[in-house]
């Protein structure tokens, strides 16, 4: 009952935020697709192919259409959820979205049968060039391998890398895990075959990109106060490891609650006029913590920020695993991961398993596409997968992912203050951070182990319709 009241408190807290946020993504003249997957459109007599081209350019799906299917679309609507928007944009044409673990989901558009949807609508927009490794549509970085060495093997990793024609791009200290970079995909594939035959190599993994969530939108409304202050007593408290982008101390409400940041990806891209995703997650953690304290506004809880993005708009599963290990070594009791990939990764899995054995509680976002397919690390059994509730709190939000791997649900909305400007965002990122804050509040009670906190979260914050 206590946690249910906490959820209602946050929903009441942010209900004042309406649709004042600015459109963040303009994909085609007449169609606005926002980061929270709400859509507005005003189009007149568009050929179906033009609509499909706009959808393809989003790069959310691989769009395939039945040849010779012709139609025109006229529609006007505002702020519809993704599924409702697609129905309006595709008019009376049939369509189905087929999730995929190995690449982008497929959108099949047809009149007679989905089997006849074979003509691909190729994206016309080019992705901006970045100083990042080459990668495929499924996010795989095809010129990298992640190698775990058996510590008893005596293998000299530097000699092995030279033999394979690779350079050591990164490592996870203490775990004999190395990130090897090759000249191209062909060289990496050749090395993979050799490594799989090496008895001293415990495992070989591919590396995958993880995109940073979209920026929050500024709103012309005051944020509710953050009624929380750090404890004046010099005592140890719960540490929440935040694996995300850099957290802004100056101008934010979270500075006094932060431990020194661990920067694993170089210089951050923080800008004074734009709140970072990490800052918004840190404030959301504190809001969840504040709601769980039932009037006690002083806390010894600290947040350990771990920046795995730096100045880039994406990170990788290797760097996330490195961040998790750094947070564990930094004393984190709870680790919040408002990120994910549809690709399972044995490296990240093993690091999380090791942390769980040490008593660390992990929470991760379920994702903002309602496919029902697993997202990792949220779908890992050691992790509490968190989805978002709608504004009323009665059901899972229309944009939020669901499935058997989801064990908790919390409000998918958040407000953050930076330099006296309020920013608003939605998504399972906020649900995860908020739940991590609630967990920190519950874990602050002396003698309460994280296993008991986990039981309380999964019992009292389970998604609607999934239990008694």
Q: Give, in degrees to the nearest 5, the angle at Cα 60 between 145 and 425.
A: 100
Residue boundaries of the structural domains of the chain: 2-17+214-460, 26-120, 140-209
Q: Give, in degrees to the nearest 5, the angle at Cα 296 between 294 and 297.
A: 120
SS (H, E, C) 8-59: HHHHHHHCCCCCCCCCCCEEECCEEECCCCEEEEEEEEEEHHHHHHHHHHCC
Per-residue pLDDT of the chain (468 residues; tens, 9 = 90+): 455 545 545 554 444 443 333 333 434 457 888 777 788 888 878 888 888 888 888 878 888 888 888 888 888 888 888 888 888 888 778 888 877 655 677 888 888 887 788 788 888 744 333 344 444 456 889 999 999 999 889 899 999 999 999 999 999 988 899 999 999 999 999 999 999 989 899 999 999 998 888 778 888 888 788 889 888 776 788 999 999 999 999 999 999 999 999 999 888 878 878 899 999 999 999 999 998 887 668 899 999 999 999 988 889 999 999 999 999 999 999 999 999 888 888 899 999 999 999 999 999 999 988 888 899 999 999 999 999 998 778 889 888 999 999 999 999 988 999 998 999 888 999 999 999 999 999 999 888 999 999 999 999 999 987 655
**pLDDT score, position 466:** 64
**pLDDT score, position 55:** 87
Q: Which CATH fold would you assign to the domain 2-17+214-460?
A: Rossmann fold (3.40.50)
Q: Return the SS3 of 258.
A: strand
Q: What pTM does this model have?
A: 0.73
DSSP per position, 88-153:
HHTTT-EEEEE--SSSSEEEEEESS-GGG--EE----SPPPP-SS----TTSEEEEEEEEEE-TTS
149 Ramachandran zone, left/alpha/beta (phi>0; psi -120 to 50): beta
Structure tokens at 343: 């690709």
Nearest to 462 by CA among 412, 387, 398, 399: 387
Place of tokens 């990792």: 376
**pLDDT score, position 136:** 43
Distance, in Å, from the CA atom of 408 to the CA atom of 458, rounded to the nearest integer, reads 6
Task: Return all residues near 305 (Cβ < 8 A) that are at least 6 apart.
Answer: 242, 244, 246, 247, 258, 259, 261, 262, 278, 282
Asked if 429 and 365 touch (Cβ cutoff 8 Å), the reply is yes
| Secondary-structure class of domain 140-209 per CATH | alpha beta
DSSP letter, residue 255: G
Q: Do domains 26-120 and 140-209 have the same CATH topology?
A: no
**pLDDT score, position 2:** 53
Instruction: State how beta strands 217-219 and 421-426 pair.
Output: antiparallel
Nearest to 461 by CA among 398, 399, 412: 412
C-alpha Rg value of the chain to the nearest Å = 23
Asked if 219 and 424 touch (Cβ cutoff 8 Å), the reply is yes
Q: Which CATH fold would you assign to the domain 26-120?
A: Phage tail protein beta-alpha-beta fold (3.55.50)
């Amino acid at each position: 009952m206590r946690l249910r009241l906490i959820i209602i408190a946050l929903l009441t807290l942010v209900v004042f935020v309406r649709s004042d946020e600015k459109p963040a993504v303009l994909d085609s003249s007449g169609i606005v697709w926002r980061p929270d997957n709400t859509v507005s459109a005003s189009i007149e007599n568009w050929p179906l192919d033009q609509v499909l081209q706009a959808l393809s350019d989003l790069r959310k799906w691989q769009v395939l259409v039945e040849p010779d299917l012709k139609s025109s679309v006229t529609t006007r609507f505002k702020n519809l959820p993704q599924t409702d928007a697609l129905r309006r944009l595709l008019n009376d044409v049939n369509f189905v979205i087929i999730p995929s673990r190995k690449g982008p989901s497929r959108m099949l558009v047809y009149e007679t049968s989905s089997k006849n949807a074979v003509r691909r609508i190729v994206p016309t927009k080019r992705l901006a060039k970045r100083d990042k490794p080459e990668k495929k549509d499924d996010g795989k970085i095809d010129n990298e391998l992640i190698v775990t060495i058996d510590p008893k093997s005596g293998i000299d990793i530097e000699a092995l890398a030279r033999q394979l024609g690779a350079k050591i791009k990164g490592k996870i200290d203490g775990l004999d895990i190395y990130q090897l970079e090759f000249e191209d995909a062909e060289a990496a594939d050749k090395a993979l075959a050799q490594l799989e035959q090496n008895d001293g190599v415990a495992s070989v993994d591919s590396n995958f990109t993880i995109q940073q969530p979209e920026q929050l939108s500024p709103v012309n409304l005051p944020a509710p106060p953050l009624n929380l202050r750090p404890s004046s007593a010099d005592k140890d408290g719960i540490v929440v490891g935040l694996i995300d982008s850099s957290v802004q101390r100056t101008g934010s409400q979270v500075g006094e609650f932060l431990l020194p940041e661990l920067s694993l990806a170089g210089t951050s891209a923080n800008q004074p006029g734009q709140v970072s995703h990490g800052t918004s997650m840190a404030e959301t953690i504190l809001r969840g913590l504040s709601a769980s304290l039932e009037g006690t506004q002083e806390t010894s809880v600290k947040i350990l920020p771990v920046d795995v993005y730096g100045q880039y708009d994406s990170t990788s599963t290797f760097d996330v695993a490195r961040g998790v290990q750094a947070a564990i070594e930094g004393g984190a009791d709870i680790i919040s991961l408002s990120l994910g990939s549809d690709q399972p990764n044995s490296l990240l899995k093993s690091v999380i398993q090791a942390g769980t054995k040490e008593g660390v509680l992990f929470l991760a976002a379920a994702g903002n596409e309602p496919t029902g397919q697993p997202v990792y690390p949220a779908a890992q059994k050691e992790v509490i997968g968190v989805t978002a509730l709608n504004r009323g709190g009665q059901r899972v939000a229309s944009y939020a992912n669901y499935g058997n791997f989801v064990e908790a649900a919390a409000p998918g909305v958040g407000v953050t203050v930076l330099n006296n400007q309020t920013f608003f965002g939605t998504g399972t990122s906020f649900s995860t951070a908020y739940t991590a804050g609630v967990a920190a509040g519950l874990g602050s009670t002396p003698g309460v182990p994280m296993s008991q906190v986990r039981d309380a979260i999964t019992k009292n914050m389970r998604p609607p319709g999934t239990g008694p």
